[in-house]
């Protein structure tokens, strides 16, 4: 009986080790899979970063070309000076707008003050 128990114990022990070995293999395979997925994500991230850098470089080059074209237009022979009539009319429009804004602000303040004066304090008898 002791020998049977010993053999049963040894069988369970080796079977358990085999299961543990299988679990260790599964754990290693899972880690390998995660590492592979992580490397793939890193590669995708690097690719997206390179594409973004390429797009930024193209945008900077396009902007530089447009600015160069605008500079050439500004410095070209088609440049006209401002007429003397344009400046005073702009100042007059600005002055009129400022006066209208001041008038509307004063009117809104007067209305607000009238509403505040109409409110009676709670301590005042009715």
Domain ranges of the chain: 21-69
Per residue of the chain (126 residues), what is the pLDDT tens digit? 566 666 656 665 566 555 555 666 778 888 888 999 999 999 999 999 999 999 999 999 989 888 888 877 777 665 555 555 445 566 677 888 889 999 999 999 999 999 888 888 777 776
SS3 90: helix
Sorted by sequence, the CB contacts under 8 Å of residue 126 that are 6+ apart come out as 120
Largest CA-CA distance found in the chain, in angstroms, rounded? 121
Q: Whole-model pTM?
A: 0.36
């Amino acid at each position: 009986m002791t020998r049977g128990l010993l053999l049963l114990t040894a069988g369970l022990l080796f079977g358990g080790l085999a299961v543990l070995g299988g679990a260790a293999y599964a754990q290693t395979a899972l880690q390998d899979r995660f590492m592979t997925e992580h490397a793939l994500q890193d590669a995708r991230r690097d690719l997206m970063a390179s594409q973004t850098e390429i797009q930024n470089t193209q945008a900077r080059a396009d902007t530089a070309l447009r600015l160069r074209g605008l500079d050439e237009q500004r410095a070209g022979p088609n440049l006209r000076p401002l007429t003397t009539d344009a400046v005073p009319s702009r100042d007059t429009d600005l002055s009129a707008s400022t006066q209208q804004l001041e008038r509307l602000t004063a009117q809104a303040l007067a209305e607000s003050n009238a509403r505040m004066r109409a409110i009676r304090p709670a301590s005042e008898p009715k």
